[in-house]
């Protein structure tokens, strides 16, 4: 067996950075300010050889050497050993990363949307060209969740992942819970404080969480899971009444990512759910994130921390850079991402849960019995019923009082439940939009 060729220990490992926004700027800061320590950890110096941006005049961070700024992204990625991609979106990020890989560079990215749609293509390209791809910052900001799924738990069989992976929605729901705000009020507050974008669609409609669900499910179950495989429900429909009802039952509402192995295949979902206030995820407040992992041998693990923000996310990015730089210094490679499992995605019809359904009904005899009859006819068992008058609510054409009827079911399939809700909503004595929330039970996974 021939010996590996010697590499000069003082030869810099060249780093190219794509993007100098919130995370990119903080990544550059860590690379510059911590360069001596990072070199000691790697065994060779790291050299930032260029930062690609659309408009260099908009880069104002004083730690960034302006001579490094360039608009030539394609040229930059071909003269680096490691390319860091922090521009986001699908294109040109995908093309640039493939070009970097084909040029022999390893890549580090925080681009969850790209990985959720084209991750397997990039993983295979990296493997084919003998380079690495790392993406810890794509899920959970500073929380180290990707590496445990990819490496630490690779000798175990993961059965489920349950997590809060979007800080914006967690902040909004937390404000609604602690201050009694309606959704729109809490969203405006989040935007004013910088926790929500001017266009919050990706966050509040669950799309950001769905991308992260696809990435985690791919790693956990060794199967290509795309964002299109992840049914999504956001939090726009959550009201102060939903929050109040949850508190009365000693529960909280959280937007959850739930991925699991079932008898029907792999299921990955994003939805708001009622969870007991004793569950560890119930204590995840504000913009923090957490992921609860269950594996056959390791049992339950929970990873918790800052899920967003420039500095926390940059910490994860630079951690990946150091890991890959060590591989280069030692002439090695990181682990591949195997996707060998031939497990189908579970059909929606296989999804079973307990549900809490809230109807607004006319306060008159026979309404509850008629609704209960529909549930019974469809084979859904009712676990509990609560009613209370809503004096501030009115229905045009009806002079009586409006009641809020809350029906909690035993485990049932979602398709049947949705059909029941649709039937009940057609009743003349039912008004407004029904609210449907899952009642999360970890033991049911």
Residue 22 annotated in ligand binding: yes
**Is 236 in contact with 205 (CB distance < 8 Å)?**
yes
Q: Label residue 173 exposed, middle or buried (CB < 10 Å: 0-12, 13-18, 19+).
A: buried
Question: For 420-440, what is each residue's pLDDT tens digit?
Answer: 999 999 999 999 889 999 998
pLDDT confidence tier of residue 8, bands split at 50, 70 and 90? low
pLDDT on residue 3: 47
Mean pLDDT to the nearest integer, 287-309: 91
pLDDT value, residue 445: 47
23 assigned to a ligand binding site: yes
pLDDT of residue 106: 98
**Catalytic residue positions, numbered:** 212
State CA 110 to chain mean position distance.
12
CB-based contact 284:100 (threshold 8 Å): no
Tens of pLDDT, residue by residue over 274-288, are 999 999 999 999 889
Does 21 carry a binding-site annotation?
A: yes
Q: In the predicted model, is pLDDT for residue 7 greater than 60? A: no
Residue whose tokens read 């990707």: 146
Q: What's the mean pLDDT in 219-248? A: 94
CA separation for the pair 16, 99 (Å, rounded):
13
pLDDT, position 401? 87
Is 237 labelled a binding residue? no
- 307 within 8 A of 289, measured Cβ to Cβ: yes
Q: The tokens of 259 are what?
A: 């991925």
Across 129-153, average pLDDT: 95
- Give the per-residue pLDDT at 396: 83
Is residue 238 within 8 Å of 184, Cβ to Cβ?
no
Nearest C-alpha neighbor of 245 from the set 388, 444, 434: 388
CA angle 29, 41, 146 (to 5 degrees): 75
- pLDDT of 355: 96
**Burial readout 64-73 (b: 16 or more C-beta within 10 A, e: otherwise):** beeebbeeeb
25 annotated as belonging to a binding site for a ligand: yes
Q: Which domains does the chain have, with CATH numbers?
A: 13-141+311-329 (3.40.50.720), 146-306 (3.30.360.10), 351-444 (3.30.70.260)
């Amino acid at each position: 067996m021939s010996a590996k060729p010697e590499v000069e220990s003082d030869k810099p490992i060249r780093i190219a950075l794509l993007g100098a926004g919130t995370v990119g700027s903080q990544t550059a800061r860590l690379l510059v300010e911590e360069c001596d320590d990072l070199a000691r950890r790697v065994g060779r110096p790291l050299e930032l050889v260029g930062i690609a941006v659309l408009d260099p005049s908009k880069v104002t961070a004083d730690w960034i050497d302006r001579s490094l700024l360039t608009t030539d992204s394609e040229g930059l990625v071909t003269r680096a050993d490691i390319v860091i991609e922090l521009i986001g979106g699908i294109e040109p990020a995908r093309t640039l990363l493939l070009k970097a890989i084909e040029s022999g560079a390893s890549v580090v990215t925080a681009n969850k949307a790209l990985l959720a749609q084209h991750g397997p293509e990039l993983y295979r390209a990296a493997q084919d060209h003998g380079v690495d791809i790392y993406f810890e910052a794509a899920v959970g900001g500073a929380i180290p969740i990707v590496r445990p799924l990819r490496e630490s738990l690779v000798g175990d069989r993961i059965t489920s992942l349950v997590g809060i992976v979007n800080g914006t929605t967690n902040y909004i729901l937390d404000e609604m819970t602690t201050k009694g705000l309606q959704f729109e009020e809490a969203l405006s507050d989040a935007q004013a404080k910088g926790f929500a974008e001017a266009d919050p669609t990706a966050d509040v409609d669950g799309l950001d969480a769905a991308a992260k669900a696809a990435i985690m499910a791919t790693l956990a179950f060794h199967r290509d899971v795309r964002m299109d495989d992840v049914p999504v429900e956001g939090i726009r429909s959550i009201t102060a009444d939903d929050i109040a009802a949850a508190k009365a039952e000693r529960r909280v509402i959280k937007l959850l990512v739930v991925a699991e192995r079932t008898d029907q295949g792999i299921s990955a979902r994003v939805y708001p759910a009622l969870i007991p206030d004793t569950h560890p995820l119930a204590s995840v407040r504000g913009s923090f994130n957490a992921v609860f992992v269950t594996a056959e041998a390791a049992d339950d693990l929970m990873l918790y921390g800052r899920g967003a923000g420039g500095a926390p996310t940059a910490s994860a990015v630079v951690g990946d850079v150091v890991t890959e730089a060590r591989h280069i210094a030692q002439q090695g490679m990181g682990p591949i991402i195997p996707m060998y499992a031939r497990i189908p995605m579970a059909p929606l019809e296989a999804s079973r849960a307990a549900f809490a359904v809230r109807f607004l009904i006319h306060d008159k005899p026979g309404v509850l019995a008629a609704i209960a009859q529909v549930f019974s006819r469809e084979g859904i068992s009712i676990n509990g019923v609560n009613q209370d008058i809503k004096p501030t609510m009115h229905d045009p054409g009806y002079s009586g009082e409006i009641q809020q009827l809350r029906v909690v079911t035993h485990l049932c399939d979602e398709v049947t439940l949705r059909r029941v809700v649709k039937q009940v909503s057609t009743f003349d004595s039912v008004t407004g939009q029904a609210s449907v929330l899952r009642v999360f039970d970890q033991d049911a996974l």
